[in-house]
Amino acid sequence: MSPTSPTAPTLSVVIGTLNRCESLPKAIESLLAQQCARERLEIIVVDNGSTDDTAKVAQGLAARDSRVRHVIEPKLGLSNARNKGISEARGKYVGFFDDDATAEPQWAATILSIIDSDSEVGALGGPIVVEWPSGRPSWMPDNRLGYYGHCYYGPARRELTFPDYPYGSNMIISRERLNRIGGLRDKVGPKGKNMMSAGEQDLFQRLTREPLKIVYDPQAIVHHWISANQVTHKWLMRRALKHGMSNTRMMAVVHPKEPVFWINQALVAGSRFLVSALSGSTAWLTRRPAIVSTSRFANMMYWLGITRGAFTNVFVNQS
């Protein structure tokens, strides 16, 4: 654990990255341009095995500005990269940021003002605005925007209660609380090109077992920039499938050797998969708007993921 010293920053922003040398500079530059005292902020770029020019980019920015540090985490997985960032952090609070995101200039100042005014705050966050490469597609349903990082809890500052929590490219958490629970679990969350998720959900589920004051502020705005290859039906369906599988992996930590539990999960999820498949097919055959059939088919894939993950746990976790 990195000790906090009188000269330590208040906020350590961790960026886990893998082969994103093209978008990484934009993300870091947006943090360097924050309208706050420079000594209050540090940026830790955790390279999770990049083979492109990520190291060159990060080291170049670190040479230009001492607030940037480039560290290596060879064990693949975003949770591992974030845990490395936590161990390197010197700030009282650790912020998690994405390598394809940008923060508005007042983001850090908004976060710091909350931290300064309320010592009870254990976690913070703000809106995440999805930036589409060519505008939001007409077939994109509102209930799947979370797969692209969208987060919005309204126009006013408020406290959040789990299951509401800040999302990954705009979540700030007390370093002491993170260390107390051992950081993120490496069994959940994305690894390389694997689209598994639920790392943040699992994190906040564990953090909120004790009272945790979570503050959302609409002025702490982050933008998440979407690449063209993500704006396809195929990507969305695959993401929905992985979402379901991720949720079963998260549950497996609590129910590792309970075949009755997993068989019940598989049966319930399987029936919901069939209902969603019928509903989606009906919408498509009756020429309902594309946004309707897309939503229903994405729901179908989510329940397929739960079914697949549950059946896997019936056999794998019993050995």
Please list, in sequence order, all residues whose beta carbon lies within 8 angstroms of the beta carbon of residue 1, skipping any fewer than 6 positions away: 87, 179
- Higher-pLDDT residue of 185 and 101 is 101
Q: What is the pLDDT of residues 133-144, one digit of tens each?
A: 999 999 999 999
Name the least confident of 90-104, 198-212, 290-304. Answer: 198-212
Dist. CA 224–CA 99, nearest whole Å: 9
pLDDT above 70 (res 308): yes
In this structure, what token pair is assigned to residue 209? Answer: 């077992």
Residue 180: the pLDDT is 95
Is pLDDT of 34 > 70? yes
Read off the pLDDT band of 6 (50, 70, 90).
low
The one-letter amino acid code at 22 reads E
Structure tokens at 105: 């200039």
Residue 11 contacts residue 38 (beta carbons within 8 Å) = no
Tokens of residue 1, six digits: 């654990």
User: Does this model's pTM top 0.85?
Assistant: yes
Reading the block at residue 96, the tokens are: 């998690």
Asked if the peptide bond before residue 163 counts as cis, ω within 30 degrees of 0, the response is: yes
Q: What is the mean pLDDT of the chain?
A: 92
**Nearest alpha carbon to residue 11 among 103, 81, 74:** 103
> Distance between the two ends of the chain, CA-based, in angstroms?
36
**Measured between alpha carbons, how far is 78 from 2 in angstroms, rounded to an integer?**
20
DSSP character for 185?
-
C-alpha closest to that of 74 among 180, 192, 162: 192
Which residues are registered as beta bridge partners of 27? none
Only one residue has tokens 């930590």, namely 253
45 - beta bridge partners?
15, 70
